[in-house]
């Protein structure tokens, strides 16, 4: 189960781009209107910084996953306690993403298909990818799917050229201000910072040296794609409307009309979304199951999938409506997980780890 | 081969779950709604009508009858009215191809606030939509017009709009953007149902309907006025202008086909704004009813200056009409001030409605005539009469 730097790049790009572009633009534009592109640049910087910390942290012990290295850094018991918020995060976020995916497909495509069947089909695909070859098969699908996702976003970009109005980006800064722009950047940043999961992947790299460049490039590429989508959304819909759409990017794509014959291409964005979600869910599934196995010293890690998959399935059926999953993204992910799990603890662990290594020398 | 059992179960599961699509609706179970309308009835309820394709009549050369029909329903809200019309339809309404929506004048005057939300909320609807106000008539009448050039008559209005140099399919989105913007007021394109040369009635592209902040119709701009407005907003591709040239005792008509617009704003103190508009264009002479030889450069310059001056006056008249008569900013002045003087805009945006009617506007039109056509002087005149 070894992956290359190239595969890591596509994994990170694919899993970050789809979710961020679909989900975070609406709250970001709500805060920072036509200056959302500045927010996205801020968000990129935040995400690059958290990724840098995550990679540095995992390179302290490049052979170990986060489960092992946290115990090496903090000691056996404290190291295990600090892992609890991560397992809670991994399991809940997998369930919520699964539900968000199903809701989106339900709203846009299949409004009479039962929700559980959409969830179950996706879950089966995820379980199959994870259990058949673990990270290796996920990485290989990422290698194929990633370029498709990138191509899809380039197509959206060019299809919408005709509807752009550059003036809608003006005036810069003066209608919003520094605080709204910074606030607007937090939601995209919290999604882009999911690249934190490299702490679990570094142990599987063929050449750990390439982790830094691959993951930073992956985050940067995803951010550039999100930035392009942000510009499109504002240049087509203006500074006020995107905040009112639940999925502004989907509405943009359904608005596309090229030469009066390329129309109704909303399936394109649904496809992008589905494949991006697939990679993300598979990665979370792998991390959760492999991590669980390592934590409890289970020899065959694949067996844990059969426990985790049903839990995730039930979790995904719990939210009563789309507002509940939105609430999770807002109040749990954005307010707790992002500052604690993705920024605070990694930074703390890295500092302690560096000090301990120096002390050991 | 170890995983034979798992693979087998997997395949069976796939077959069980994915056969038979829950959402399958065959083409023969769909009614394609190509255009729809809503009107306000006297009792305050909504009347909605939609034009549906009759698929069996649309294909094949020899047509026996119209390839469409109109179905109606009425109710307290739009959705209830649609429900009533669904009670008469044997198929499911599919709106993926709908491009035009007509609103009767009564409804437009009453306000269309309650109508607009559904267009963007329901994913079955398209945002790429033109909403039309039907001048002096009901929206449903626009659906009933039999337009001879198009198989499905409802596409006529947007095709007319495009053919005469406007932008199509963006009026719904433009309306929403203008409504959500501080200071500006929304507009919609207008069609009129007129008696054509034939016994049937036909559709005429009339111009632009002006709405206020409560989404109520306050007035119309006619075609030329609407075109001037589009010129200021850079949304135009074709315009004919004919003006009297008093020095030559006749009129000259020109065709403009490339357009530019520069709007400059300045703040002249508290609540006093000045807007300078410079409209540029390039075109050619379409008709010359004077005795001027347009191959002479001073004659061409005379015509050009005269047309520029007169057009400037007309554009200013249109702007004054909007300012004084309607008092609603449909010219994008709020955005101009916002972009050029962002700091001042933050102070005055709250009472833009009181500032707008008193804005001092200057208009300067500068059309460059590039071609005079195939003849210099008009062929009518004798050598001695030509100047």
> Which residue from A106, A107, A102 is spatially nearest to A126, judged by alpha carbons?
A102
- Give the model's confidence band at B2: pLDDT under 50 very low, under 70 low, under 90 confident, else very high: low
CB contacts, 8 Å: A171 with chain B: 338-339, 342
A237 with B22: Cβ contact below 8 A: no
CB contacts, 8 Å: B342 with chain A: 171, 173-175
Mutation to test the B interface, candidates A169, A255, A264, A313, most B Cβ within 10 Å: A255
The Cα–Cα gap between A334 and B301 comes to 66
**Planar angle of CA B189, B195, B197, nearest 5 degrees:** 120
Cis bond upstream, residue A171 (ω within 30): yes
pLDDT > 60? residue B8: yes
CB contacts, 8 Å: B169 with chain A: 257
Using an 8 Å Cβ cutoff, are B85 and B18 in contact?
A: no
The Cα–Cα gap between B295 and B278 comes to 27
Measured between CA atoms, how close is B63 to chain A, in angstroms?
A: 26
Whether A190 is covered by a domain: the verdict is yes
The Cα–Cα gap between A235 and A174 comes to 18
pLDDT at A218: 92
Residue of A121, A167, A238 with shortest CB distance to B18: A121
Whether A356 is covered by a domain: the verdict is no
Helical spans, DSSP H, in chain B: 4-18, 55-58, 78-86, 105-110, 113-121, 139-144, 155-163, 171-180, 223-232, 297-320, 333-340, 342-348, 352-355
Q: Check CB contact of B7 with chain A, cutoff 8 Å.
A: no
A175 with B346: Cβ contact below 8 A: yes
pLDDT at A223: 92
CB contacts, 8 Å: A107 with chain B: 123
**Planar angle of CA A80, A81, A86, nearest 5 degrees:** 85
Residue of B13, B120, B123 with shortest CB distance to A108: B123
Sequence-distant (≥ 6) Cβ neighbours of residue B350 within 8 angstroms = none
Whether A196 is covered by a domain: the verdict is yes
List of domains in chain B: 25-223 (no CATH), 238-387 (3.30.300.210)
pLDDT at A207: 85
CB contacts, 8 Å: B181 with chain A: 238, 240
pLDDT by residue (tens digit) across B264-307?
Answer: 988 887 778 899 999 999 988 888 888 888 888 888 888 888 89
Using an 8 Å Cβ cutoff, are B317 and B278 in contact?
A: no
CB contacts, 8 Å: B21 with chain A: 110, 113
Site of tokens 């390839």: B67
Whether A50 is covered by a domain: the verdict is yes
Q: For chain A, how many structural domains are there in total?
A: 1
Q: Tally C-beta pairs within 8 A across A and B.
A: 69
pLDDT at A279: 92
The Cα–Cα gap between B276 and A238 comes to 24
Around Cβ B232, how many Cβ atoms within 10 Å? 24
Using an 8 Å Cβ cutoff, are B208 and B225 in contact?
A: yes
Measured between CA atoms, how close is B237 to chain A, in angstroms?
A: 15
Whether A345 is covered by a domain: the verdict is no
The Cα–Cα gap between A108 and A188 comes to 23
Q: What is the 3-state secondary structure (H, E, C) of A135-168?
A: HHHHHHHHHHHHHHHHHHHHHHHHHCHHHCCHHH
pLDDT at B19: 54
Q: Enter the ipTM.
A: 0.80
Mutation to test the A interface, candidates B21, B123, B341, most A Cβ within 10 Å: B123
Find the domain containing A179 and state its range: 5-340
- Local structure of B21: helix, strand or coil: coil
Of A52-56, A330-334, B208-212, B229-233, the range with the lowest mean pLDDT is A330-334
Whether A15 is covered by a domain: the verdict is yes
Alpha-carbon distances of A228 from A10, A224, A271, B192, B249, rounded to whole Å: 18, 6, 18, 42, 57
CA A143 to chain centre: 17
Around Cβ A67, how many Cβ atoms within 10 Å? 22
Whether A355 is covered by a domain: the verdict is no
Measured between CA atoms, how close is A236 to chain B, in angstroms?
A: 9
Measured between CA atoms, how close is A285 to chain B, in angstroms?
A: 19
Q: Check CB contact of B5 with chain A, cutoff 8 Å.
A: no
The Cα–Cα gap between A208 and B131 comes to 59
Alpha-carbon distances of B110 from B104, B138, B187, B322, rounded to whole Å: 10, 13, 15, 20
CB contacts, 8 Å: A128 with chain B: 10
B23 with A113: Cβ contact below 8 A: yes
The Cα–Cα gap between B285 and A239 comes to 41
The Cα–Cα gap between A216 and A16 comes to 12
- Give the model's confidence band at B124: pLDDT under 50 very low, under 70 low, under 90 confident, else very high: confident
B130, burial (CB in 10 Å: exposed 0-12, middle 13-18, buried 19+): buried
- Give the model's confidence band at B17: pLDDT under 50 very low, under 70 low, under 90 confident, else very high: low
pLDDT > 90? residue B244: no
B177 with A110: Cβ contact below 8 A: no
Find, in chain B, the residue whose alpha carbon is nearest to that of A106.
Answer: B23
Find, in chain B, the residue whose alpha carbon is nearest to that of A173.
Answer: B342
Mutation to test the A interface, candidates B339, B344, B346, most A Cβ within 10 Å: B339
Provide the chain B residues 77-106 that lie in CB contact (below 8 A) with chain A.
96
pLDDT at B18: 61
The conformation of residue B170, written as its DSSP 8-state character, comes to: -
Using an 8 Å Cβ cutoff, are B138 and B126 in contact?
A: no
Using an 8 Å Cβ cutoff, are B98 and B169 in contact?
A: no
Sequence-distant (≥ 6) Cβ neighbours of residue B194 within 8 angstroms = B201, B202, B203, B204
Residue A77 maps to which CATH number? 1.20.1740.10
pLDDT higher at B95 or A234:
A234
Sequence-distant (≥ 6) Cβ neighbours of residue B232 within 8 angstroms = B261, B263, B277, B279, B315, B331, B332
Whether A358 is covered by a domain: the verdict is no
Backbone angles phi, psi at A357, to 5 degrees: -65, -45
Average pLDDT across chain B, whole number: 84
CB contacts, 8 Å: B14 with chain A: 124
pLDDT by residue (tens digit) across B149-195?
Answer: 887 888 888 888 888 887 878 888 888 888 888 888 899 999 988 88
A120 with B123: Cβ contact below 8 A: no
Site of tokens 């000691």: A75
Which parts of chain A have pLDDT scores under 50?
A: none
The Cα–Cα gap between B70 and A129 comes to 52
The Cα–Cα gap between A231 and B61 comes to 47
pLDDT by residue (tens digit) across A278-315?
Answer: 999 999 999 999 999 988 888 888 888 988 999 999 99
Residue of A110, A114, A167 with shortest CB distance to B339: A167
pLDDT by residue (tens digit) across A87-132?
Answer: 988 999 899 989 988 888 888 777 777 888 888 888 988 998 888 8
CB contacts, 8 Å: A110 with chain B: 21-23
pLDDT > 60? residue B58: yes
The Cα–Cα gap between B315 and B225 comes to 7
pLDDT at A12: 92
Find, in chain A, the residue whose alpha carbon is nearest to that of B159.
Answer: A260
**Planar angle of CA B215, B114, B89, nearest 5 degrees:** 130
The Cα–Cα gap between A310 and A308 comes to 6
The Cα–Cα gap between A38 and B3 comes to 51
The Cα–Cα gap between A62 and A200 comes to 10
CB contacts, 8 Å: B18 with chain A: 121
Helical spans, DSSP H, in chain A: 5-23, 25-32, 36-60, 66-74, 76-81, 84-108, 115-133, 135-159, 178-192, 198-201, 211-237, 248-255, 266-295, 305-317, 322-327, 345-360
Find, in chain A, the residue whose alpha carbon is nearest to that of B15.
Answer: A121
Contacts 24+ apart (CB under 8 A), B54-58: B55/B27, B55/B28, B58/B151, B58/B152
B338 with A171: Cβ contact below 8 A: yes
């Amino acid at each position: 189960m070894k992956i290359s730097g190239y595969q890591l790049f596509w994994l990170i790009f694919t899993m970050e781009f789809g979710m961020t572009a679909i989900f975070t633009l609406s709250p970001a534009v709500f805060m920072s209107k036509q200056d959302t592109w500045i927010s996205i640049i801020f968000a990129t910087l935040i995400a690059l910084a958290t990724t840098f910390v995550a990679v540095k942290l995992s390179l302290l012990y490049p052979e170990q996953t986060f489960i092992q290295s946290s115990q090496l850094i903090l000691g056996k018991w404290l190291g295990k306690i600090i892992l609890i918020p991560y397992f809670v995060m991994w399991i809940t976020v997998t369930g919520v993403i699964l539900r968000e995916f199903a809701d989106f497909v339900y709203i846009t495509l299949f409004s009479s298909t039962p929700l559980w069947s959409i969830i179950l089909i996706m879950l089966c695909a995820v379980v199959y990818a994870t259990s058949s070859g673990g990270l290796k098969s996920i990485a290989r699908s990422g290698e194929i799917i990633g370029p498709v996702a990138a191509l899809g976003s380039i197509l959206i970009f060019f299809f919408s050229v005709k509807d752009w109005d550059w003036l809608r980006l003006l005036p810069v800064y003066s209608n919003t201000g520094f605080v709204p722009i910074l606030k607007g950047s937090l939601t995209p940043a919290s999604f882009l910072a999911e690249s934190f999961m490299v702490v679990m992947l570094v142990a599987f790299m063929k050449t750990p040296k390439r982790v830094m460049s691959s993951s930073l490039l992956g985050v940067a590429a995803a951010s550039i794609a999100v930035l392009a989508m942000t510009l499109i959304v504002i240049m087509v819909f203006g500074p006020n409307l995107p905040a009112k759409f639940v999925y502004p990017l989907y509405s943009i794509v359904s608005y596309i009309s090229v030469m009066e014959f390329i129309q109704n291409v909303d399936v394109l964005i649904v496809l992008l979304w589905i494949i991006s979600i697939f990679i993300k869910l598979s990665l979370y599934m792998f991390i959760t199951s492999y991590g669980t196995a390592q934590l409890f010293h289970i020899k065959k890690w694949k067996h844990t999938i059969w426990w985790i998959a049903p839990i995730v399935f039930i979790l995904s059926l719990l939210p009563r409506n789309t507002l509940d999953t939105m609430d999770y993204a807002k109040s749990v992910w954005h307010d707790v997980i992002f500052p604690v799990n993705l920024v605070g603890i990694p930074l703390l662990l890295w500092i302690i780890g560096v000090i301990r290594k120096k002390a050991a020398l | 081969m170890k995983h034979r059992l798992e693979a087998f179960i997997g395949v069976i599961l796939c077959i069980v779950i994915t056969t038979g699509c829950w959402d399958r609706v065959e083409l023969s179970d769909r009614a394609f709604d190509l255009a729809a309308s809503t009107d306000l009835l006297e009792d305050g309820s909504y009347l909605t009508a939609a034009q549906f394709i009759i698929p069996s009549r649309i294909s094949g050369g020899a047509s026996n009858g119209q390839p469409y029909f109109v179905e109606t329903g009425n109710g307290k809200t739009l959705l209830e009215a649609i429900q009533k019309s669904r009670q008469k339809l044997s198929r499911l309404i599919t709106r993926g191809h709908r491009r035009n929506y007509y609103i009767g004048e009564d409804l437009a005057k009453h306000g269309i606030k309650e109508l607009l939300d559904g267009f963007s909320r329901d994913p079955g609807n398209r945002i790429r939509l033109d909403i039309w106000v039907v001048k002096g008539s009901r929206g449903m009448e626009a659906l009933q017009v039999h337009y001879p050039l198009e198989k499905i008559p409802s596409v006529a209005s947007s095709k007319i709009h495009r053919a005469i140099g406007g932008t199509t399919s963006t009026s719904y989105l433009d309306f929403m953007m203008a409504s959500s913007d501080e200071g500006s007021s929304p507009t919609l394109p207008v069609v009129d149902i007129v008696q054509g040369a034939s016994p049937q009635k036909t559709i005429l592209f009339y111009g632009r309907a002006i709405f206020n902040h409560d989404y109520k119709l306050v007035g119309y701009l006619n075609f030329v006025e609407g075109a001037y407005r589009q010129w200021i907003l850079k949304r135009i591709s074709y315009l004919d202008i004919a003006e009297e040239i008093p020095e030559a005792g006749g009129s000259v008509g020109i065709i403009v086909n490339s357009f530019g617009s520069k709007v400059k704003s300045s703040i002249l103190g508290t609540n006093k704004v000045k807007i300078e508009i410079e409209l540029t264009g390039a075109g050619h002479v379409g008709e010359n009813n004077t005795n001027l030889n347009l191959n002479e450069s001073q004659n061409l310059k005379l015509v050009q200056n005269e047309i520029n001056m007169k057009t400037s006056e007309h554009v200013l008249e249109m702007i004054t009409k909007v300012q004084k008569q309607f008092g609603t900013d449909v010219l994008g002045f709020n955005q101009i001030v916002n972009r050029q003087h962002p700091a001042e805009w933050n102070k005055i945006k709250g009472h833009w409605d009181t500032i707008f009617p008193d804005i001092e506007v200057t208009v300067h039109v500068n059309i460059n005539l590039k071609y005079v056509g195939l003849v210099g002087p008009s062929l009518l005149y004798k050598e001695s009469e030509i100047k």
